[in-house]
Amino acid sequence: MQEQETVGAEIEQLLRTAGLSLVEFSVAKRGNSVSAKAVVYSPKGTGTDECSAAHRLIYPRLQLHYGVEDPYLEVSSPGIDRIIRSPREYSVFAGKGVKILPVNETEWIRGKIVSATDTELVLETNKGKEVFDLSAVAKARLDSTQEGD
């Protein structure tokens, strides 16, 4: 796992130079083959051009790091209603609409991400700025219905 984190950190730095964020990265090695998946994001929009640029940056790094000639690499956007999978994703998506379901609650809370740390999330909701402890968030996902608000 540490090797994947090391490569992911290198790739994250490369993508930053292109104005992209690495949302998710995974690598699987089987024998002499390597298969990788990267989810990238740009606040200006993440389409085919951004995914292609990310592919061009990541592919040679995989070749070099794993010593394989032709690694399999899948690059995609996070999607408009992505499920938030890790605390760092809140920072990546700062300014975007999100809905969260607190633990022991039945109603989703909607707002725009103001800021986030590894333990805390600040949302701008219809009640103003609200702070949530991430350990008390059962589910979260991007909320495309808030775009343009």
CATH code, domain carrying 117: 2.30.30.100
Q: Alpha-carbon torsion 100, 105, 108, 113, what sign?
A: negative
At 41, the pLDDT band (50, 70, 90 cuts) reads very high
At 1, the pLDDT band (50, 70, 90 cuts) reads low
Q: Do residue 55 and residue 110 come from a single domain?
A: no
Structural domain that includes position 8 = 2-76
Percent of the chain surpassing pLDDT 90? 82
Q: Do residue 64 and residue 102 come from a single domain?
A: no
The label of the residue with tokens 């590894």 reads 118
**For residue 102, what are the contacts with CB-CB under 8 A and spacing of at least 6?**
109, 132, 136, 137, 138
Question: For position 2, what pLDDT does the model report?
Answer: 82
| Domains identified in the chain, total number | 2
User: How far lies 24's CA from each of 21, 88, 120, in Å?
Assistant: 9, 10, 20
* pLDDT, averaged across the chain: 93
The amino acid that residue 76 corresponds to is S
Q: What is the pTM of this model?
A: 0.85
Q: Do residue 15 and residue 67 come from a single domain?
A: yes
**Closest alpha carbon to 124 in 133, 112, 135:** 112
Per-residue pLDDT, averaged over 112-128, amounts to 95
**Closest alpha carbon to 144 in 99, 106, 107:** 99
